[in-house]
Structure 1
Amino acid sequence: MNDRAASVFENYEIEILRILKGRGALLGETQEGWLILKEYTGPATRLEIQEKLLEAVKENGFSRVEQLKRNKEGELISYDQDRVPYIVKTYFEGRECNLKDVRECQSAARTLGRLHKAMCQPGIARDYDVPAFCMENEYVKHNRELKKVRRYLREKSQKTEFEIYLLHHYDFFYEMALSAAEELQEYTADFDEEKIREKGNFCHGDFQYHNLLFTQGNFSVINFEKYMLDNPVRDLYLFLRKLLEKNSWSVSLGLNIFTAYETERSLTDEDRMQLYYRFAYPEKFWKIVNFYYNNGKAWIPGRNREKLENLLKQEAEKKNFMNNVLK
């Protein structure tokens, strides 16, 4: 970010003592604490709901959560001289969650359980007519995309080494994706969008170690821009998947995280069913394919091949985890 971005702070009734560069953002120190300035590309209406949600979460007892700041004109979005939109939020000094520390990960899971209780806001969901997220619809959409890319690969005359390797293993994961989506249809009534909206359970949407800051013995949670109405296990799944991929899908570690989460929020049979099918669907494979297809294909990073190889190596460990912990 440049000096023009830093000038956006002038739109707020705050005195900036110093400015530091962060990851794709600027940090401004004030007498009341740190603020963060970030570009914002979403709709203004979604930001209004985010503000209400974060305020409600804090009022509901979860205080270690960021808050949006309004500028001098009372707006949530400010612009630099090039009309680039920015938002300003409160920020917590601290380090990211350490995925190699089991106790710290357990603490993060307990934090998530407390956060989910505070994010149950049926009033906000109703008053702002927030659309609910449907896991079945997401997987059907993903499967259409996978089918499209498979056809593209098969019809391509000259294939790179990566494309040959990808196509060789494609059907294994594609059939897995189709099977997960088909089995999930049996439980559509339990995962109905209207039912999700009535419950009013909001999710963080991107609950991973980057967005967990450890400071003064506790975790603070940041970056709620991907919030959504969905079953809360969406966040638990993402946190667990990232953690287990780095720890050979350890059954004992997974059970420890579940136990820690349930000290704050109990998992229902529906929650466990959702978790099972989230893990059953080959989301990581879809991400590799999606990245490949939607980026320049003239040069394909070797990291893509490495990710696919690791995915194949870990498949047996993942199945073992699912059978011993979720089924």
Structure 2
Amino acid sequence: MSTELTSKLKQRGRASVDFLSNFGFGAAKVRDTVEQELHRVVPDPAALPDDLDQRSARIEQSMLGFRPYRVQQAVGEWHATYHGLVAREAFEEIRDEIEPILKKYDDGPSTLEDNSKEGAPGYYEGVNFHRTAGGWEDHEYQGFIHADLVHSRLVKNFFPGGIWKQREMVAGMAPKDHYDKILDMGCSTGHFTRALQTVYPDAEIHGVDLSIRTLEQARRLANASGWTWHLYQRPAEDTGFEDETFDLAASYILLHEIPAETIKQTFKEAFRVLKPGGDMIMSDVTRYADMDKLGVWKADFGARLGGEPYWRESASLDLAEVAREAGFVDVTAEGLPPNSYPYIVKGRKPE
């Protein structure tokens, strides 16, 4: 990929983004203190209420008087509120320099079908996923801002070994060494699509997503690398492709962004568009079934703070059963160590 698509921030923007990037590490002592207090307050997670709302109320009320806990929540709220705004301000400082480069890579071998006039599903409209100010469509270069400033500079620091390595590992977990035609369901800015391209360099790559801004960035990424991707603004649960079109249907950390019923439809759609004998591999967040009750509360609280309205219903699903109900066979499902993340489900469409 061309290094031109990597921004060179000015001093103010660089300082602000670096501050955000190191913010989490600077708060590590507070988090450790809160963690110790949580285990004191909840010595036996199994004794917590089964109902998650009741559990949340009990834990949060018990912790409310603990000052480090209140500090941690204030810090988390500040970061969630301002990370996108800080990244956007940093972009505006370099806009005059980077915009011609971004426009340059709007053209190339990759294609993009824009269906903005058709509107988006109800679960998508008005939701600022990840608490991105204004949502994915609010800024004309939100795809670049998210991919280069938020994801590549902020999010990556919280993934040991790197988010790119993890995506390539997941792509490589598909059963076959070669696929002729691959569908990336919920491709966003193309980070996982790039992993699929790297692992299966001879495959014909197609990607769908609801956000035109993130798709525009995926197209830039592909064009800068000389790849021919076919990108479409379509929902993963209703792609519009003909039956039995693809050899592999894949997604990376999409499912927690959509409601449970939409997840089930997405698996059915993957089954429909796969050729007989085709493979499916989907990844998502750790299942609540793989955590104790305290761990579930932590994940659920973080999702609420981070602007993830469908996390709870998604993480509560048995994805292996969802895959079988869609028609897949030879289904396997596992969370990767050490924290069962990402959670990988695979299946095959019968011949």
- Interval of TM-score (by shorter of Structure 1 and Structure 2): under 0.3
Give me the TM-score of the superposition, normalised by structure 1: 0.26
Give me the TM-score of the superposition, normalised by structure 2: 0.25
